[in-house]
Structure 1
Amino acid sequence: MLDSTTPQRRMLRTEDASNYTGLSASTLTKLRLTGGGPAYIKLGKSVVYDPADLDAWLSSKRRRSTSVAA
């Protein structure tokens, strides 16, 4: 049970996660199928993303040079 001092995390649906990351919704869908994308949560038929997972995934993609291997 959540009390009034527990902050609630707002989960993002694919379209909102798309806006958050700058990727298209179809790219996020493809990444779910092929792997390598951000972690997501499946709630019944709905897919949601935790913004903390999106931040972690985006940070993992940070590079300083195109010549450095991923």
Structure 2
Amino acid sequence: MLAIPVVMFAADDQASYKVTYDGGSLSSVTSGSGLKLFVDSNSVRITKDKTEVANIRRWEYRISQ
């Protein structure tokens, strides 16, 4: 579970969100840790201290007729 309260701009010019991790499936992150959430057109990334802890890639499902 993540709390997403504040919009912030990263030094690398990509918009990010400051989040606090509330526990769950990220075993390398402890509850209460401060993280950054990056959302772009291809993925959602979660980082801690500039280290990527999760990368959720975009996928499409198309039905051809």
TM-score relative to the length of structure 1: 0.26
TM-score relative to the length of structure 2: 0.27
Report which structure shows greater RCO (CA 8 Å, sep ≥6): 1
Q: When you count strand as a share of all residues, which structure comes out higher?
A: 2
Q: When you count helix as a share of all residues, which structure comes out higher?
A: 1
